[in-house]
Amino acid sequence: MPDDMIPNVLSIAGVDPSGGAGLLADLKTFSALGAYGTGVVAALTAQNTRAVTGIHPVPVAFIAQQLDTLFADVRIDAVKLGMLGTTEVVATVADALRRHHVRRLVVDPVMVSKSGHHLLSPDAVASLRTRILPLAEIITPNLPEAEVLLACAPIRTLADMRAAARALHALGPRIVVLKGGHLDGAESPDVIDDGTTQVELPAARIVTKNTHGTGCTLSAAIAALLPQHDDPIAAIRAAKAYLTAAIAASGELTVGSGHGPVHHFHTLWK
């Protein structure tokens, strides 16, 4: 796209009323990184920084209507997928992505909330694996999500991460960003795999409880930056740098008493 054109980016995700994760966090991320945000609601949750107390599904026909109506009018330069919840929603979204010829797709395979609540039904995992991942330009699983997608043993080392990233690539996405935040130790490395080469993105672990929505924010940042970079690896690096700074600045916010949100507007608010 032309350098002077502001990208339009779409999030298809659930709504977290506390604003730290899901669609609301994605829209903040898009705005902070110079993209115009659009959103399609795939699920409703009752949620705060401490717990998810309820999930209300959105009728799949209405999800399809939201998508078809949006694509009929608005140029969409990248799409990010977050919480889809059920097999029916996964299938509906996959069909819409194909129908509207989406090419620049970032998939965050949301399965479990920070508070431990399951956000993707077990029967939907196979559908996500076979219907969504092959459409993706980039997927951003954490280690527990990778273990579920691969049905593999626990991933405990950087060597395990490298092997898992290559196995995830075999499921169809063009690039895998396997996040290492669940590893033990002072570092929080990510592994990027494009099927040919692997790149490690190191980062020091920031000691904070404010990690609500970190996965949502990283994938949204990648989606916002992809249309603004010729090289997807450069977009991923910039997205990780943004997230790391947002986590470091999270103490400036006072939102809830549990896992607080990252500071999406850390460079804009004084």
Active-site position among 85, 216, 240, 260: 216
Establish whether 211 is a catalytic residue: yes
Establish whether 54 is a catalytic residue: no
**Residue 167 and residue 152 in contact, taking contact as beta carbons nearer than 8 Å:** yes
Strands 78-81 and 138-139: unpaired
Active-site position among 14, 82, 180, 215: 215
Establish whether 114 is a catalytic residue: no
Establish whether 28 is a catalytic residue: no
Strand boundaries in 141-187, DSSP class E: 175-179
Closest CA to 203 of 162, 260, 246, 154: 246
Which residues face 14 on adjacent strands?
43
C-alpha distance from residue 120 to each of 14, 19, 41, 146, 230 (Å):
11, 20, 15, 14, 33
d(CA 239, CA 233): 10
Active-site position among 211, 217, 244, 260: 211
Helix 232-248 and helix 214-225: axis angle, to 10°?
140
198-201 β-sheet, strand order: 52-57, 36-47, 8-15, 78-81, 105-107, 138-139, 175-179, 190-193, 198-201
Active-site position among 39, 213, 240, 260: 213
Establish whether 152 is a catalytic residue: no
d(CA 58, CA 121): 15
Active-site position among 45, 87, 92, 214: 214
Establish whether 214 is a catalytic residue: yes
Q: Which residues are catalytic?
A: 179, 211, 213-216
